């Protein structure tokens, strides 16, 4: 893939490309300096045709008496701020993601990083919120290095933000509410995100950004954060479009106050801050706990532990900050809570491959990839006792795992169920509801929406981890056109995605043939690379994401489908969109069968009877395969062509032997005891006074041996000794 560079000269990414971008920095400009009105001067750096300003504080740091309080505006600084290196990441349990530039942690972590084309003026702004289950991650990630996106598109600014994580970002309770400045509790990380948006709205114009074209975007917990911001009343007007990658309106995006209160009680006991006479004294004790110890203790808490549908340290619903969870807003059709802005929402095909555990608590053991059909039904019975039979029947009929999971069909079905439950079907439901509100003329919805929603399914895997399929998080490097991408076909897909995203930032539509999702036209686009042969590249799709499977989850979770069916925009009974597409699939089957019969006849003429019989036998098999794929296309948005696996064999032990790229978010805990918290240095945190490396140093170090998307906690294989 040839990427345009200076004065139209083309350079191949990698090889000379990375070297040139730093050489150009010497000639293009000296270190850029920006004077931010009311804040102070910042001195950044440059990389090729991109300038960056890193670690700029957007709020007074949440240390001391500011811990577990709402963020407040930063008063500014008098000396020029060195903005050429990333600031520290927020406190979290290590090991952190391996693509982070540094794991230096500090509670004083509320900062933004700004990336812009040289000479930027009035350009749209992409605000990226990192994922990590609300407990890990950071804005100093090489996979989301903003200059990669800026140099590729040259049509906008990228801002990456940091926010409080774990117990420091999600601890709630009436005790904290009573002592906070504004009477809020348990949504500190979300309030950090909103404060960052306020800072961006006020100051991004100084960097050449257009504060009237701000797009909030994120993946996983970042996408859930975008969903929460869409609900938050105080965030209205601070953004104008939204992108949610694998986490739109998810059930785990927020927790309620009852769960938050129980967490507070357990945390007080875990820290030993018990027996005080009033809440002020208890809070003073809690604020005296070292931040590293605090997140470590909270990591092992059992109250409201992570499951496939809950995230332990997600924000707490709060009357002022988050009046309703995004999931409940969709489920109850209370769309007046949701900001009316254009949306892109999508999922990856194998969302559940990193989360398939033996039970719904995600700290349990990995589910064996050698799961038998009987073992699958036992797993279903243990985890879904009231719906095991229905799930077994539905997924046995619509599953495509025979085309993906090699000989691991039962495990493939299990991971598919987990992915649908936590990611795909909530996104499916939200797209249908938001589209119905846009198209409806009935009284079903209190508020009619004007803005469109666009849907996608990401189908490509990453080279390092083909055994996980198009796994959770696999798309991030493509969205940013990251230097971690290895070959031309991957870069071509990244070209397509960044063009879509850049168009959306600019005018609220991805452009091309990607049209909005609608009830009568449930259109979604598939994103894949050409050399992954199980799908055609760039094939456009129609039909509800995961069709029958998500219909079943709607029934299980009590979604009032009848209210949507009451809309006059929905196809009349007996002629639903799915039925129409099934008819198209049947026609394709008939045509394909006729073609195969003709081929067989020709083969019989040329090779006489023996080979003709062989040919017709293959033709029968091919027609059956075509039928299965056509049904899969209708029900799941899959392709009807070339759903095949890589030709090379896969070691049966390969899956358990390798670490999944986003296992950090899968939150598989080792069997270590809660006691004996290691010192920060023992956990890999640099000692006081150590500094972060420069972007150039890290990129040069990673150029030769980039391991790709290997952010992970200790893998199950490592911790169990298998």
Which of these is catalytic: 351, 439, 483, 581?
Answer: 351
DSSP string, 394-461: HHHHH--GGGTSTT-HHHHHHHHHHHIIIIIHHHHHHHHHHHHHHH--SSS-SS---S-EEEEEE---
Q: What angle do CA 223, 637, 429 make, to 5 degrees?
A: 45
Residue with tokens 């640099």: 686
For residues 551 and 548, give the distance between their C-alpha atoms in angstroms, rounded to a whole number: 5
Cβ neighbors of 703 (< 8 A, separation 6 or more) are 18, 483
CB 435 within 8 A of CB 455: no
Q: What is the DSSP letter of 17?
A: H
**Is 513 a residue of the active site?**
no
Of 667, 672, 712, 683, which is closest to residue 290 (Cα–Cα)? 683
Residue 687 gets which letter from DSSP?
Answer: P
Do the Cβ atoms of 103 and 684 come closer than 8 Å? yes
φ/ψ of 396, rounded to 5, equals -65, -25
Is the alpha carbon torsion for 436, 438, 442, 448 positive or negative? Answer: positive
Residue with tokens 């003429």: 605
d(CA 545, CA 164): 33
CA distance linking residue 381 with residue 361, whole number of Å: 15
Task: Tell how many helices (H) and how many strands (E) occur in the chain.
Answer: 23, 16
Proportion of the chain in helix, strand, coil states, percent, rounded to 5: 40, 15, 45
Rg from Cα positions in the chain: 26
155 is annotated as an active-site residue: no
SS3 209: strand
Residue 617 and residue 561 in contact, taking contact as beta carbons nearer than 8 Å: no
Query: Reduced to 3 states, what is the DSSP secondary structure of residue 56?
Result: strand
First to last CA, the chain: 41
Yes or no: say if 669 and 306 are a contact pair by the CB < 8 Å rule.
Answer: no
Contact 133, 126 (CB under 8 A): no
Cα–Cα distance, 403 to 405 (Å, whole number): 6
> Which structure tokens are listed for 125?
């702004």
Element (H, E) at 468: none
What span, in angstroms and rounded, lies between the C-alpha atoms of 194 and 197?
5
Active-site residue identified among 47, 185, 220, 537: 220
Cis check: omega of the bond before 95, within 30 degrees of 0: yes
Beta-ladder partners of 654: none
Mind telling me the catalytic residues?
A: 220, 351
């Amino acid at each position: 893939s040839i990427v345009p560079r200076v004065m139209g000269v083309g350079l191949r990414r990698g090889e000379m490309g990375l070297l040139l971008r730093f050489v150009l920095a010497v000639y293009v400009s000296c270190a850029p300096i920006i004077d931010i009105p009311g804040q102070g001067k910042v001195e950044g750096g440059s990389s090729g045709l991109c300038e960056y300003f890193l670690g700029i504080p957007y709020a007074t740091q949440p240390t001391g008496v500011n811990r577990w309080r709402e963020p407040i505006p930063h008063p500014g600084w008098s000396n020029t701020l060195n903005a050429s290196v990333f600031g520290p990441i927020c406190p979290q349990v290590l090991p952190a993601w391996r693509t982070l530039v540094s794991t230096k942690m500090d509670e004083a972590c509320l900062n933004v990083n700004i990336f812009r084309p040289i000479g930027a003026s009035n350009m749209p702004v992409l605000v990226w919120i990192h994922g990590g289950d609300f407990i890990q991650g950071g804005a100093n990630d090489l996979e989301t290095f903003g200059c990669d996106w800026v140099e590729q598109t040259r049509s906008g600014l990228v801002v990456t933000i940091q926010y409080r994580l774990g117990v420091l970002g999600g601890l709630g309770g009436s005790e904290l509410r009573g002592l906070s400045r504004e009477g809020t509790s348990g949504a500190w990380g979300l309030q950090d995100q909103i404060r960052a948006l306020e800072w961006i709205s006020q100051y991004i114009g100084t960097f050449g950004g257009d504060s009237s074209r701000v797009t909030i975007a994120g993946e996983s917990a970042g996408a859930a954060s975008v969903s929460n911001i869409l609900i938050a009343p105080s965030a209205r007007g601070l953004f104008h479009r939204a992108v949610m990658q694998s986490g739109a309106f998810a059930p785990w995006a927020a927790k309620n106050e009852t769960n938050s209160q129980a967490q507070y009680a357990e945390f007080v006991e875990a820290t030993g801050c018990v027996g005080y006479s009033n809440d002020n004294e208890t809070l003073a004790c809690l604020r005296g706990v070292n931040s590293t110890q605090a997140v470590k203790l909270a990591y092992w808490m059992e109250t409201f532990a992570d499951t496939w549908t809950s995230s332990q340290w997600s924000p707490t619903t709060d009357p002022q900050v988050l009046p309703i969870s995004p999931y409940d807003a969709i489920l109850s059709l209370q769309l007046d809570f949701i900001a009316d802005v254009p949306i892109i929402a999508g999922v990856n095909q194998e969302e559940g491959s990193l989360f398939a555990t033996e039970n719904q608590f995600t700290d349990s053991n990995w589910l064996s990839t050698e799961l038998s059909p009987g073992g699958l039904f036992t797993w279903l019975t243990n985890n879904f006792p009231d719906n095991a039979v229905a799930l077994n029947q539905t997924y046995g009929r619509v599953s495509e795992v025979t085309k993906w999971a090699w000989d691991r069909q039962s495990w493939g079905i299990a991971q598919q169920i987990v992915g649908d439950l936590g990611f795909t079907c909530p996104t499916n439901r939200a797209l249908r509801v938001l589209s119905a509100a846009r198209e409806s003329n009935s009284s079903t919805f209190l508020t009619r929406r004007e803005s469109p929603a666009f849907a996608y399914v990401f189908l490509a895997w990453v080279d390092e981890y083909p055994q996980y399929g198009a796994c959770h998080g696999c798309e991030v490097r493509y969205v940013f056109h990251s230097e971690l991408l290895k070959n031309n076909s991957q870069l071509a897909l990244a070209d397509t995605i960044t063009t879509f995203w850049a168009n959306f930032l600019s005018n609220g539509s991805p452009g091309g043939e990607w049209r909005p999702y609608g009830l009568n036209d449930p259109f979604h686009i598939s994103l894949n690379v050409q050399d992954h042969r199980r799908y055609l590249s760039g094939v456009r799709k129609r039909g509800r994401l995961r069709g029958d499977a998500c219909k079943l989850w709607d029934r299980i979770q009590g979604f009032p489908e009848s209210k949507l069916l009451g809309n006059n925009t929905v196809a009349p009974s007996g002629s639903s969109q799915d039925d129409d597409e099934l008819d198209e699939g049947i026609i394709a089957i008939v045509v394909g069968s006729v073609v195969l019969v003709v081929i067989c006849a020709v083969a019989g003429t040329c090779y006489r009877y023996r080979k003709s019989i062989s040919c017709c036998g293959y033709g029968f098999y091919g027609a059956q395969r075509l039928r299965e794929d056509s049904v899969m296309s209708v029900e799941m948005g899959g392709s009807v062509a070339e759903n095949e696996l890589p030709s090379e064999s896969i070691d049966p032990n390969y899956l358990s032997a390798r670490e999944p790229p986003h296992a950090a978010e899968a939150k598989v805990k080792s069997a270590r005891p809660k006691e004996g918290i290691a010192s920060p240095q023992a956990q890999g945190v640099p000692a006081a006074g150590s500094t972060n490396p420069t972007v150039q140093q890290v990129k040069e170090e990673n150029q030769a041996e980039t391991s790709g998307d290997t952010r992970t906690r200790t893998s199950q294989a490592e911790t169990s000794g298998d």
